[in-house]
Amino acid sequence: MEIVILRLGHRPERDKRITTHVGLVGRALGAKGMLLASSDKGIERSINEVTQRWGGGFFVQTGVKWSDELKRWKQEGGKVCHLTMYGENILDVIDEIRAEAKRDKTRIMVIVGAEKVPYSVYDAADWNIAVSSQPHSEVAALALFLDYLQRGKELKTKFEHAKMEIVPKRRGKEVIRNVNGK
């Protein structure tokens, strides 16, 4: 399953840290990349540095025109999941999304907004999904959605070309350097 995040409404001065966390959570939990509907080379650089050190093939593309990306995604047969407090509860639709993804080996775009999301996004989405109908963090919503979608399998992913890897331990910290990186 290919999962790509489309981050809307990023305000560089206000949302820099949150948008970086959206990308890092997406990377860590199985997304292939993030499209950012704003030009912010700092975010791109920051996430790319993490990917270089910790491995994987996550990409970040900034300055995209979100409406064009959304339209192209749909034209190429991809499905769109928009995370919003106003959607259907995740528990009511996650099985349907999984079944659709498995049946068609569907590419999934996950839209994560920062400020008011245009109605056209709600209209274009195949699923408007609420992790909760209460105010919450878009980072938490993305993490829960990716985990539910993949049934936790993403938590055991080994990242290729990692220069660093954490060794799981009950106590203490251990990091292996130059694991399989170049």
Show binding-site residues for S-adenosyl-L-methionine.
83, 113-117
CA–CA dist 64, 38 (Å, integer): 7
Euclidean distance between CA atoms 11 and 42, whole angstroms: 13
How many CB atoms are closer than 10 A to CB 106?
16
Residue ranges for the known binding site are 83, 113-117
Contacts of 31 (CB under 8 A, 6+ apart): 3, 4, 5, 58, 110, 146
Whole-angstrom distance, CA of residue 78 vs CA of residue 97: 12
Q: How far apart are CA 80 and CA 128, in angstroms?
A: 9
